[in-house]
Amino acid sequence: MVDIVFGIGITALTGALATIAGAAEDTESNIGSQGDPNSQVQLAPQMGFMHRIFNKAVAGEPPAYGLWCALGAGLAWAFMAMYPNPVLAIVLGSVLAVIVQGVYATTAYLGRTASLAKFGQPVYVDILKSMTTVTMAHAFIAIFGTVALCQLINGALEHPFPLPLLGLIWGVTLGAAGSATGNPYYGKERQYQNQKFGAGVPISASGNIVRYAEAGERNSLDNGWFTAKIGGAASGLCFGLIVFLELWRTILFEKSFDGWGAVIVGILVILIFTIIDRYIEVWARKNYGPYSEIKEASS
């Protein structure tokens, strides 16, 4: 068992790294239109709405980030096996993983767009050049943060799993948290800025995404700029809380209550979040009110 003070320090550091990684992950996926909002970017040309949005569907975010982080961790592990210098190894591993991510992003954009030739959607080479590099930069922050926190968990907190396995686990969790929290904000609020605020997008409006910006035509950098403000921050908070609370309850309470302390604290945390969620739900119902007074039969 590691010293409590040391453990708390590492926990705080991993929480901070996770928060940054989560925010970068969501911004990256929004610039690339990865995850579920991708379906609308894909649908728009079929409805006659040509656009200049980057469309890199590598996979769902969880498996894709599982790969980038596991790969970064695996490469870092291999470098550390040769030369024991964790900082250099993690940076180099993350850089190589980011190159793989960038190549996957370009092939995804080219493939998806070329398959839409029937509807006249052109391939924009300038999008490929300017957006891929920006997603790679964000992905580097996300991967580096995740691999670094895995190394801290493995090296400093003595978790039994080797680094690549931890990379896989936290990569998938990062993608799951980031896509769950960030996707609706990009999918509804940014892609469908032309629809009513405070309501879901009617199914009839599908495909009619916003394609023009304040000046000129919208590109995906505008989307990253917009979603970073709430979607990105919320995703970062989500992943940061997951990592921090998971480590915090184990480090601090593992020994108390005959070993059941971590479990009891975990249950309390779940209850607290349940209460917060219920409060948010009721708050919304009270303050926003119903859309219609007529009670219709549910479909």
Q: Which of 108, 142, 147, 148 binds another protein (CB under 8 A)?
A: 108
H or E stretch at 92: helix 86-114
Among 25, 61, 94, 146, binds another protein (CB under 8 A): 61
- Asked if 73 interacts with another protein (CB under 8 A), we say yes
Binders of another protein among 135-154, rule CB under 8 A?
none
* SS3 label, residue 16: helix
For every residue of 149-168, DSSP letters joined together read HHHIIIIIS--SS-HHHHHH
User: How many degrees, rounded to 5, is the angle at CA 265 between CA 260 and CA 267?
Assistant: 95
Half-sphere exposure of 50 (CA within 13 A, CB side): 9
Nearer to another protein, 87 or 162 (CB): 162
Smallest gap from residue 104 Cβ to another protein (A): 7
User: If binding is defined by CB under 8 A, does position 114 make contact with another protein?
Assistant: yes
Out of 10, 31, 77, 220, name the contact with another protein by CB under 8 A: 77
Q: Nearer Cβ to another protein, position 142 or 168?
A: 168
CB 218 within 8 A of CB 53: yes
Binding window for another protein (CB under 8 A); candidates: 6-14, 139-147, 164-172: 164-172
For residues 26-45, which are near another protein according to CB under 8 A?
Answer: 35-40, 42-43
Nearest approach in angstroms of CB 222 to another protein is: 14
Contact between 259 and another protein (CB under 8 A)? Answer: yes
Backbone angles phi, psi at 197, to 5 degrees: -75, 145
Q: Which token pair is 104? A: 């996957």
Stretch that binds another protein, among 7-15, 135-143, 168-176 (CB under 8 A): 168-176
* Cβ-Cβ contacts under 8 Å for 84 (sequence gap 6 or more): none
**Span of 2-10, 12-20, 55-63, 137-145 interacting with another protein by CB under 8 A:** 55-63
Question: Where in 260-279 is the site for another protein (CB under 8 A)?
Answer: 260, 262-263, 266-267, 269-270, 273-274, 276-278
Q: What is the DSSP string of 45-80?
A: GGGT---------SS-HHHHHHHHHHHHHHHHHHHH
Figure out which of the listed residues 90, 201, 210, 228 binds another protein, where binding follows CB under 8 A.
201
How far is Cα 117 from Cα 174, in angstroms, rounded to an integer?
34
Residue whose C-alpha is closest to residue 28's, from 103, 128, 101: 101
Which is closer to another protein, CB of 156 or CB of 250? 250
Shortest approach of another protein to residue 21 CB, angstroms?
Answer: 14
- Both tokens assigned to 124: 């924009």
CB of 296 vs another protein, minimal distance in Å: 5
